[in-house]
Structure 1
Amino acid sequence: MITVAICDDEEIYCRQIREKLTAFSIADSIDMDIKEYRSAEELIHAAQGGWTFQLLFLDIMMKDMNGMEAARKLREMDCGGLIVFITSYLDYMQTGYEVKAFRYLLKNQMEQQLGRVIGDCIRELGDGSVFTFQFEREIHRVRQKDILYMESEKRLIHLYAVECEYIFYESLDGVLKQLEAGMFVRCHRSFLVNAGRVRRFAGTELELENGTVLPVGRKYSVDVMKRLLL
């Protein structure tokens, strides 16, 4: 599942991007959750409410708060998704580096550029196989299959992968929305585990292939069992 946001105050561009995304989704069998916003304020409000995106198409020139301001706020909130700026001019390209813009779409070349840009984004995301997050203004990408488990400590997530460890701000529910469906399972209120990395399950605990033992909460044990039997 790839979560996508489109933020533009002009309906014509929102529709054009949504239609092209839908075409990619059908052609490549990629699940996409696409949401549209007509202002930067709406987008920021959704992000503050916990909605996260992996890919954002963001118009730069909008009324009140512009797209560049919105991008800065999102990065300050540790939103680490790919940002594609929609613009009529390239004057903002240098500023875009500050918020780690992935691509730019020129409105007068939308028809010619859109398919290529979406393709680049999907390849970068690896069809959901790459987990993207941000911490202390740095964007990190980890292959989902390399993730062993994640542990939640208040608003802080500890991510343990095969060869590295990271920390970032998010909830486990928010993380789950960004991960490939079926690959991970919640085994405890504080733990999310890669089902493919589980070596042993014994009711109240499970052991990973690296020897790490994690607790299994009573309310999660049935879901863990079902997932491991798939």
Structure 2
Amino acid sequence: MLKIAICEDVDIQYKILEKYLKVWALKNNITIHLVHYKSSEEFLFNLDENMDIDILILDIQMKEMNGIELAKKLREKDEEIAIIFVTGVSEYISKGYSVGAINYILKPLKEEELFDSLERAYKKIKQLKEKKESLKVITDKQVVKIRYSDIKYFVVYSHYVHIELLNKKITYKKRISDLEEELPKTHFLRCHRSYIVNLHFIKSIEKESLTLDDSTIIPISRGKREKVLELFMNYFDI
């Protein structure tokens, strides 16, 4: 699902955007959730709630704080949200791109222009999501991007990390402490000084070990069992 915020102080313009967005979503089989703000100040007041927004469609000409000023403040907190500017004048174009906007659309809005901007924004969002859900590994021979969902576990021997994947193994030089920092703690846990496991593949947990779906047995360090159990239970509550 895409969460899209529209910051527009003219109701008729909001209604036009809402209509076009619903048509685009239906055409592309995408579920969207729309939220509407009538001023930059209202958006900023709700900023904590807005940190999960994927796309912001932002009018530039608004009372008091304009859209450019809002975008600059937003970029201090979030560099990834896709911003699409809409306005009735062209004088702000250069300033609009200075905050990394996807596009700058002049009113009156044209459906095809908005659709093109939404496609570009959606592509950017998918690329960012894919990047967040994968691990970049540099071996002696190549650079490999591995999806987290393909990783069963990591084990370290003599300063080398061995990655056990669904269909192969990869070995590269890495400190396990550095690797641990790179991985999302919501999906991976370090259960032993030499092992990091993908929570998704854990079948059961015993006193001193855990068992994966493929029957692989991995040791649990003394004192880590309670933490392992806690993370394992929380994982299935996500």
- Structures share fold, TM-score greater than 0.5: yes
Structure 2, gaps ≥5 residues long? 137-144, 148-183, 189-197, 213-217
Aligned-residue offset at 1:199: 6.8
C-alpha spacing 1:50/1:84, structure 2 compared with 1 (3 Å): closer
Paired with 2:63 and 2:115, the residues of 1 have a C-alpha distance of: 27
Aligned-residue offset at 1:60: 0.3
- Structure number with bigger Rg: 2
Structure 1, gaps ≥5 residues long? 132-141, 149-160, 164-189
Paired with 2:108 and 2:91, the residues of 1 have a C-alpha distance of: 15
Query: Does 2:15 correspond to 1:15?
Result: yes
Aligned-residue offset at 1:200: 3.7
Paired with 1:5 and 1:78, the residues of 2 have a C-alpha distance of: 14
Paired with 1:114 and 1:143, the residues of 2 have a C-alpha distance of: 26
C-alpha spacing 1:9/1:223, structure 2 compared with 1 (3 Å): same
8 A contact 1:7–1:56 mirrored in 2: yes
Aligned-residue offset at 1:24: 2.4
User: Where do 1:120-159 residues align within 5 Å?
Assistant: 120-126=120-126, 130-131=128-129, 142-146=130-134
Cα deviations across residues 78-136 of structure 1 (Å, max 9, x unaligned)? 3520100011122111112321111111112434422222222223323xx633xxxxx
Cα deviations across residues 51-73 of structure 1 (Å, max 9, x unaligned)? 43111000000001100000011
8 A contact 1:5–1:55 mirrored in 2: yes
C-alpha spacing 1:226/1:78, structure 2 compared with 1 (3 Å): closer
Paired with 2:211 and 2:44, the residues of 1 have a C-alpha distance of: 39
C-alpha spacing 1:78/1:116, structure 2 compared with 1 (3 Å): closer
Match of 2:187 among 190, 193, 209: 193
**Counterpart position of 1:33:** 33
User: Where do 1:77-96 residues align within 5 Å?
Assistant: 77-96=77-96
User: Where do 1:70-109 residues align within 5 Å?
Assistant: 70-109=70-109
DSSP 3-state at the match of 2:75: helix
8 A contact 1:8–1:39 mirrored in 2: yes
Specify which structure has the bigger relative contact order, considering alpha-carbon pairs within 8 angstroms and separated by 6 or more residues: 1
8 A contact 2:2–2:33 mirrored in 1: yes
TM-score normalised to structure 2 length: 0.59
8 A contact 1:83–1:102 mirrored in 2: yes
Give the superposed CA RMSD.
3.4
**Counterpart position of 1:178:** none
Paired with 1:200 and 1:112, the residues of 2 have a C-alpha distance of: 45
8 A contact 2:199–2:235 mirrored in 1: no
**Counterpart position of 2:151:** none
Query: Could you tell me the percent identity over the aligned residues?
Result: 25
C-alpha spacing 1:29/1:49, structure 2 compared with 1 (3 Å): closer
TM-score normalised to structure 1 length: 0.61
DSSP 3-state at the match of 1:130: helix
